[in-house]
Amino acid sequence: MSQVEDSNAMADVVMTEQESAGLERSDGMLGASGIGGANSYNDVTGNQLGDDSHNRKRRVFVGNLSYRTPWQALKDHMRQAGNVIRAEVFSDSLGRSAGCGVVEFETEEMARLAISNLNDSVLDGRPIFVREDRENSSLRHNTPFQRSERRKIVIWNLPASTKWQELKDFFSKYGSVIRADVKRTYDEQVTKMGTVLFSKESEAEEAIAAMNGKDFQGHILHIRMDRFS
């Protein structure tokens, strides 16, 4: 068994915007703490989330993970669908959790069962989404997950009462939302700022075109691409 990192190395801080005047913790709060890296688990020595089409059919992509979810928690949760060969939580270029990952199962049937039964299941307080993995994993294995560039939007002037689930549901009309967050300070003060990560750049652009300068529950939103994702 090969274990790259345990949960102690999991990013406890996520900085989405430098303009936030602080570090954003993995639960969406702002404050100071340490920065960790990605986490992965492998039950087969040397197995690296194979890059062939057969292995890809045994893998699933998992989104909307809590920034505090380590690989071990992801692995344990996904074992409800079958034997997990590998579980990995991606990190960004600064070693922070990207809020998504991949899981490889022993069989294709187990992967299909995970998509069917675990999509919208709750892990660490967040409903995750599970779909087939569409990317050649060898291109991203042991490298930072930096593909959120130009897929994440930053939203200002949100109503103080806005919840992340509400934000995710609203922006889902423009595409597949991988993750949505509403930012709060360390002492739970509302910042009226949020972020939404889409699966495609075109979806993020469509959301900006449709909602920048538009009304949302009585508030005029200001939206742009996240320059620091």
Task: Determine the pLDDT at residue 16.
Answer: 33
pLDDT classification of 54: cutoffs 50, 70, 90: low
Task: Determine the pLDDT at residue 96.
Answer: 78
pLDDT classification of 179: cutoffs 50, 70, 90: confident
Q: Where in the chain is the domain with CATH 3.30.70.330?
A: 2-139, 152-225
**pLDDT tens across 60-99, in order?**
999 889 889 999 999 999 999 999 999 999 887 667 788 8
Higher pLDDT, 178 or 186: 178
Distance CA 229, CA 147 (A): 9
Instruction: Tell whether domain 152-225 is in CATH 3.10.20.600.
Output: no
CATH number of 2-139: 3.30.70.330
Task: Determine the pLDDT at residue 92.
Answer: 73
pLDDT classification of 199: cutoffs 50, 70, 90: confident
Higher pLDDT, 45 or 227: 227
Task: Determine the pLDDT at residue 36.
Answer: 33
**pLDDT tens across 5-41, in order?**
333 333 322 333 333 333 233 333 322 222 233 455 5
The structure's pTM equals 0.54
